[in-house]
Amino acid sequence: MPTPSALACVRCATRFPVDSYAQDCPACRAKGAPANLTVTYNGTPGAGASRDDIRRNRGSMWRWDAFLHARAEDAVTLGEGNTPLLPAPALGLGDVWIKDESRNPTWSFKDRLGSGALTMAKKFGAKVIASSSSGNAGAAAAAYAAKAGIPCVVFTFVGSAGPLVLQMRAYGAMVVKVTDKADRWRLQSLGVQEFGWYPTSPFFGPVVGSNPYGMEGYKTIAYEVAEAFDWQPPDWCVLPVCYGDALYGMWKGFEDLKALGWIDRVPRFVAAEVSGSLTQGMATGEPMPPVVERNAPSIATSIGAAQATVQGLDVLRRSKGLAVTIGDDDLRRWVVTLAAKEGIWPEASSAAPFAAIERLRADGTIKPHERCVARLTAAGLKDPGPIEQALPEPPLVTGGLPELLVGLKNAYGFVP
């Protein structure tokens, strides 16, 4: 296992101590391009590791501990990772594979973040975990804090989806609601500064991204994808993006593999977003994507923030990728299509990559022979409300076969 040597700014590479809570580079913030910190190591991640040994081990994402900041035996784990990579021929989008992250312990990709961050929280002796989250990150923080035996405070927003907030509460987190989203960060910052609470989520603006050790967990999505394709990476990785945490983490994972010579190129990345911050950011030469407020709320509440990050924009530029802005109609249509044709019911945000691939295949950006991996980030049951409206109301049938046939025909157009 390589040992973390420093937390380094993703933009200017300035180094900070490994236990720094700053989560931010002061120099880049002063220049108007606030940038997250990322873990750097003594030694090359993965050096000396055996691909066969890693392949045989199916315990959790920590089978990749040769690339990570802690040993598998010291990790706070719920068996996250090793999620299926499934072909999706019925979608009519060509060579598309679904990396189904809804199969993680709390039904979202944020478990990799939770496991990566809580492992370090425990190592550093954190007394309290703090997260600000509309849902998935808070649910993961709560579950992994429970596993680690550390109390957890989650700041959430009054408009957050009911099942997601219930999930945090079920894992024993102390959930606090606020009416103004800005209060979440204000209160969490006070907890961090005054009491040394350990933050797993962003807690100040303009946002830079999440806890650097949590972000390391996202590298394992790239390792799993590369391994599943026998070290021939796909041409494109298409992700639902909010701050661009997983975008950065996956990209870093592919870069690790390339540095080792296990793969010969890094895929191009597409950010499927709802605000348009990265879409506009790509059109400028600026390092920081702009704030883009929508006229109406999106059904993809998990990725609803109005501004992405320096790290997300940077990965799109470095990978020769692009951003696509997706609206509610497309999200609803793709949730229903995925569930009905592939048997996978995603949260609304996770439908965004499919709408993006559809658009980019149609305009020729993604060529017909090119392979795409769509990252499906969370399960539909977490926020079922918006999709219910897109489905036919089940008929109430009283009586016999004739009434059943009428019900099936009227509700579903089905004639046996």
Site residues for ligand PLP per CB under 6 A: 108, 135-137, 240-247, 302-303, 347, 349-350, 377-378
* Shortest Cβ 25–Zn ion spacing (Å): 3
From the list 25-33, 40-48, 114-122, 234-242, the region that binds Zn ion by CB under 5 A is 25-33
A 10 A CB-CB count for 322 gives 18
25 binds, among Zn ion, ligand PLP, none (CB under 5 to 8 A by kind): Zn ion
* Shortest Cβ 305–ligand PLP spacing (Å): 8
Side-chain-facing half-sphere of 22: CA atoms under 13 Å: 21
Q: In what order do the strands lie in the sheet with 174-178?
A: 174-178, 152-157, 129-132, 198-199
Torsion of CA 122, 191, 248, 338, to 10 degrees: 90
Nearer to Zn ion, 14 or 280 (CB): 14
348 binds, among ligand PLP, Zn ion, none (CB under 5 to 8 A by kind): none
12 binds, among ligand PLP, Zn ion, none (CB under 5 to 8 A by kind): Zn ion
* Shortest Cβ 362–Zn ion spacing (Å): 39
Nearer to ligand PLP, 290 or 407 (CB): 290
For residues 75 and 63, is the Cβ–Cβ distance under 8 A? no
For residues 49 and 62, is the Cβ–Cβ distance under 8 A? no
46 binds, among Zn ion, ligand PLP, none (CB under 5 to 8 A by kind): none
List the one residue out of 113, 118, 192 whose CA is nearest residue 155.
192
* Shortest Cβ 241–ligand PLP spacing (Å): 4
DSSP string for 131-180: EE-SSHHHHHHHHHHHHHT--EEEEEETTS-HHHHHHHHHTT-EEEEESS
Q: Is 354 left (phi over 0), alpha (psi -120 to 50) or beta?
A: alpha
Nearer to ligand PLP, 224 or 347 (CB): 347
The answer to whether residue 9 forms part of the interface with Zn ion (CB under 5 A) is yes
**Cis before 206 (ω within 30):** yes
The answer to whether residue 11 forms part of the interface with Zn ion (CB under 5 A) is yes
Nearer to Zn ion, 14 or 57 (CB): 14
243 binds, among ligand PLP, Zn ion, none (CB under 5 to 8 A by kind): ligand PLP
282-341 residues in contact with Zn ion (CB under 5 A) are none
Side-chain-facing half-sphere of 142: CA atoms under 13 Å: 26
C-alpha dist (Å) from residue 232 to 56, 64, 109, 152, 353: 19, 18, 23, 40, 21
For residues 373 and 237, is the Cβ–Cβ distance under 8 A? yes
Taking the C-alpha atoms of residue 115 and residue 122, their distance in angstroms, rounded to an integer, is 11
- Count helices and strands in the chain by DSSP H and E runs: 14, 13
The DSSP letter of residue 39 is E
The answer to whether residue 12 forms part of the interface with Zn ion (CB under 5 A) is yes
* Shortest Cβ 248–ligand PLP spacing (Å): 8
* Shortest Cβ 7–Zn ion spacing (Å): 11
302 binds, among Zn ion, ligand PLP, none (CB under 5 to 8 A by kind): ligand PLP
**The only residue of 8, 18, 25, 272 in contact with Zn ion, by rule CB under 5 A:** 25
User: Quick one: tokens of 173?
Assistant: 């987190």
159-188 residues in contact with Zn ion (CB under 5 A) are none
Nearer to Zn ion, 25 or 130 (CB): 25
Nearer to ligand PLP, 135 or 212 (CB): 135
* Shortest Cβ 348–ligand PLP spacing (Å): 9
Nearer to Zn ion, 315 or 335 (CB): 315
349 binds, among ligand PLP, Zn ion, none (CB under 5 to 8 A by kind): ligand PLP
Nearer to ligand PLP, 358 or 383 (CB): 383
Beta-strand pair 37-42/85-87: unpaired
Binding site for Zn ion (CB under 5 A): 9, 11-12, 14, 25, 27-28, 35
